[in-house]
Amino acid sequence: MSANAAAEAIFRGESGRILASLVRISGSLDLAEEAMQDAFAAALEHWPQRGVPLNPGAWLTSVAHRKIIDRVRRGQTEASAAAGHSSLLAPDAPLPYEALLDEYPDDRLRLLFTCCHPALALDAQVALTLRTLGGLTTPEIARAFLLPETTLAQRLVRAKTKIRREKIPYEIPPPSALDARVAAVTAVLYLIFNEGYSATSAAALVRADLCAEAIRLARCLMQLLPDQPEAQGLLALMLLHHARHRARTGAAGELITLDDQDRSLWDRAMIDEGLALLERTLRQRQPGPYQLQAAVAALHVGAPNAEATDWKQIAALYRELGRMTPSPVISLNHAVAVAMADGPQAGLDLLAQLAEPLDQYHLYHAARGDFLRRLNQTEAARAAYEQAVRLTQNPAEKAFLRRRAAALASVRPFPSKMDHGTIYS
């Protein structure tokens, strides 16, 4: 691996953890971000000549730490001095937020709560935290929000401008303030997991590193808030989905849909943990969106085969989820479930209502192609698949959709309404 590729891989995989440790050292997110950027710039300068160090994450953290000390010593920012960052020069001096450190089981989780400041709108909190700590790029976050990249970039700029203009402090919240931030933190973890589950543009369909980190942080969140039902539901959802990751791609990295997966490859221990957690959570009778999505995942992993999947119950859960948190993507999932339960025309009728909000979303066109294919409308199906190919950047998804489109050249009529070739993986 080249030095540049190594630096990029470390940035994507470890920047959140490095930043969390730097904020703990400095007490300032801005100072930590600047120091980390300087450290990566130093890596790009030195690694090509000297080679990548054995522990590149530790090397970057050490360099960034020195950068922080240099900035404080030079007194380059009044904010650093006002915030008491001179404590860096006296290692034995107590940090102003030190009493709160032990309240959190993990540095990165603590920083997630710190960044999700309720003075910002919820979507701004989530987008900014994903960009700063989640290891996600602007295009990846834009896909998560179903927004053009330029719109998402402007939203990030406005959020940062508001923070500077209104002097919103990056302060570690005490336990009494967590309830106001937990919705944003769970949304961040959910979207990090989603990007890992179905990568926007990575070479592979699945980014297992992101999935694993989201699950790790969800476990830490449960440790911090053991009685929070949605935190439990979120972890159950992640476990039930990630349990299938070995079966979701073939030997060559090709996408394998849910119906065609080898269920013997599913991680039964992870499924059992997720099901037990979901059952315990539902007994609290405080249903929320993550619990409902986990219930959908439970129906999928609980079916012995594709034909036994209870699509009517899945459709009912998505209908309730749409009532609880209206979203075009939830409506799309509901349409797919209805198509599997009641036939493709029923799903197609529901999709007609989503044409405008989801016109640039590849899975909308993939689902439409699937329904049209099952209705033997070959040319329309091929056009829908080709549009889905144009809208996705992931190579595995592109290849799968191209295979679907190519197969229509010699299509034969389907014998029943229940062809089980869904777009789900």
Q: Give the pLDDT confidence of 308-320 residue by residue, as tens digits.
A: 999 999 999 999 9
Q: In terms of CATH, what superfamily is 310-425? A: Tetratricopeptide repeat domain (1.25.40.10)
**92 Cβ neighbours under 8 A, 6+ residues apart:** none
What per-residue confidence (pLDDT) applies to 320?
97
What's the CA gap between 319 and 339, in Å, rounded?
A: 13
What's the CA gap between 374 and 370, in Å, rounded?
A: 6
Q: How does 380-406 read in b/e, with b if 16+ C-beta sit within 10 Å?
A: ebbbbbbbbbebbebbbbbbbbeebbe
Comparing CA positions, the residue from 93, 42, 94 lying closest to residue 65 is: 42
**401 Cβ neighbours under 8 A, 6+ residues apart:** 362, 366, 369, 385, 386, 388, 389, 392
Comparing CA positions, the residue from 174, 178, 171 lying closest to residue 84 is: 171
What's the CA gap between 411 and 394, in Å, rounded?
A: 26
Q: Assess contact for 363 and 423: CB atoms under 8 A.
A: yes
What per-residue confidence (pLDDT) applies to 80?
46
Give me the residue spans of the domains in the chain.
Answer: 1-96, 310-425
What's the CA gap between 344 and 359, in Å, rounded?
A: 19
CB atoms within 10 A of CB 311: 19
What's the CA gap between 97 and 99, in Å, rounded?
A: 6
What per-residue confidence (pLDDT) applies to 248?
95
What per-residue confidence (pLDDT) applies to 212?
94
What per-residue confidence (pLDDT) applies to 415?
41
Give the distance, in angstroms, between the CA of residue 45 and the centroid of all CA atoms in the same chain.
Answer: 31
Lookup: tokens for 374:
């099952």
* pTM for this predicted structure: 0.82
Comparing CA positions, the residue from 359, 371, 363, 370 lying closest to residue 404 is: 370
Comparing CA positions, the residue from 244, 254, 139 lying closest to residue 195 is: 139
According to DSSP, the residues that pair with 249 across neighbouring strands are 255
What per-residue confidence (pLDDT) applies to 92?
41
Q: Assess contact for 242 and 274: CB atoms under 8 A.
A: no
Lookup: tokens for 33:
């971000």
According to DSSP, the residues that pair with 289 across neighbouring strands are none
**Rounded alpha-carbon distances, angstroms, from residue 326 to 233, 323, 352:** 19, 6, 17
The pairs formed by 357-360 with CB atoms below 8 angstroms and a separation of 24 or more are: 357/146, 357/328, 358/146, 358/328, 358/329, 358/332, 360/146, 360/148, 360/391
Low-confidence ranges of the chain (pLDDT < 50): 77, 79-98, 413-421
Comparing CA positions, the residue from 210, 341, 254 lying closest to residue 333 is: 341
What per-residue confidence (pLDDT) applies to 81?
47
Q: Could you tell me the sign of the dihedral formed by the alpha carbons of 15, 20, 25, 29, in that order?
A: positive
What's the CA gap between 363 and 350, in Å, rounded?
A: 14
Give the distance, in angstroms, between the CA of residue 92 and the centroid of all CA atoms in the same chain.
Answer: 38
Q: Assess contact for 193 and 214: CB atoms under 8 A.
A: yes
DSSP state of 255: B
